[in-house]
């Protein structure tokens, strides 16, 4: 779109989808951009379904614990919050009032909630629906049915399945198997994190991923998101 098209859109609608993810490793099979690519494609599809628009995807998030893996790019919490404040200031200043914030990275959740507590105080006219794609109604149950206790916490078969569906031929051929979580507390620093999870997979079985599962998951997610954004009219 060009700016005149956005201006014309704002004459009839004040809703916008803002996708945010991360740039971090997803094991030997998952691509580094998994978290932002998933929400990018979902946001574009949702905008087309609902005649709304999506902002450019924010590809960086809070991934400090992954930074011992090559290719990972992380913001620190202060930078992340400042980035969000600037984005929401810009949108509010132009007349957007209803925002569906679609998150693709679990590590962003806490800092997004912190940022939103300030943003919603500063911009009182904004109405913000904050959702992680896996929290959309019906998604967790479908994940449980497909992957059971081998879904895990990172480089999961659900997120890799969605990438296989949305970005065909991007998953790498590298059998991994099931990775139980070590019987110890989670690591906090990136060095210890990589020592505990040397290939980057946390409690998951990436081998269970398939494009067929991804297509089914994506449809459930989009159906749920469509209901959410339609309620924001």
Residues in the chain, pLDDT under 70: 184-187
Instruction: For tokens 């951009």, name the residue.
Output: 33
Domain borders along the chain are 3-228
Looking at residue 179, what is its pLDDT? 84
Residue 97: count other Cβ atoms within 10 Å of its Cβ: 17
User: What's the whole-model pTM score?
Assistant: 0.95
Contact 196, 188 (CB under 8 A): no
| HEC secondary structure over the chain | CCHHHHHHHHCCCCEEEEEECCECCECCCECCCHHHHHHHHHHHHHHHHHCCCECCCECCECCHHHCCCCCCEECCHHHHHHHHHHHHHHHHHHCCCEEEEEECCHHHHHHHHHHHHHHHHHCCCCEEEEEEHHHCCCHHHHHHHHHHHHCCCECCHHHHHHHHHHCCCCCCCCCCCCCCCCCCCCCCCHHHHHHHCCCCCECCCHHHCCHHHHHHHHHHHHHHHHHHHHCCC
CATH 3.40.50.720 for the 3-228 domain, yes or no: no
The CA distance from 180 to 194, in Å, is 15
Looking at residue 170, what is its pLDDT? 84
Q: Encoding tokens for residue 101?
A: 């914030």
| Among the listed residues 158, 136, 139, 140, the one whose alpha carbon sits nearest the alpha carbon of residue 203 | 158
Looking at residue 172, what is its pLDDT? 85
Looking at residue 185, what is its pLDDT? 62
Looking at residue 63, what is its pLDDT? 97
Looking at residue 174, what is its pLDDT? 81
Q: Which residues pair with 202 in a beta bridge?
A: 154
Looking at residue 186, what is its pLDDT? 65
């Amino acid at each position: 779109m060009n700016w005149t098209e956005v201006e014309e859109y704002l004459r009839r609608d004040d809703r916008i989808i803002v996708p945010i993810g991360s740039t971090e490793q997803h094991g030997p099979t998952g691509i580094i951009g998994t978290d932002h690519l998933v929400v990018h494609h979902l946001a574009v599809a949702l905008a087309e379904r609902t005649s709304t628009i999506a902002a450019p995807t924010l590809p960086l998030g809070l991934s400090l614990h992954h930074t011992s893996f090559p290719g990972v790019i992380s913001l620190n919490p202060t930078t992340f919050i400042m980035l969000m404040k600037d984005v929401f200031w810009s949108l509010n200043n132009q007349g957007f009032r209803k925002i569906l914030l679609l998150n693709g990275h679990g590590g962003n959740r806490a800092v997004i909630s912190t940022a939103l507590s300030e943003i919603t105080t500063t911009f009182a006219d904004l109405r913000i629906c904050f959702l992680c794609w896996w929290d959309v109604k019906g998604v967790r149950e479908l994940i449980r049915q497909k992957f059971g206790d081998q879904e895990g916490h990172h480089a999961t078969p659900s997120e890799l399945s969605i990438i296989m569906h949305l970005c065909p031929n991007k998953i790498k051929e590298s059998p991994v198997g099931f990775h139980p979580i070590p019987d110890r507390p989670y690591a906090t620093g990136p060095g210890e994190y990589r020592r505990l999870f040397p290939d980057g997979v946390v409690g998951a079985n990436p081998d269970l991923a398939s494009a067929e599962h991804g297509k089914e998951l994506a449809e459930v997610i989009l159906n749920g998101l469509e209901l959410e954004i339609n309620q924001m009219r």
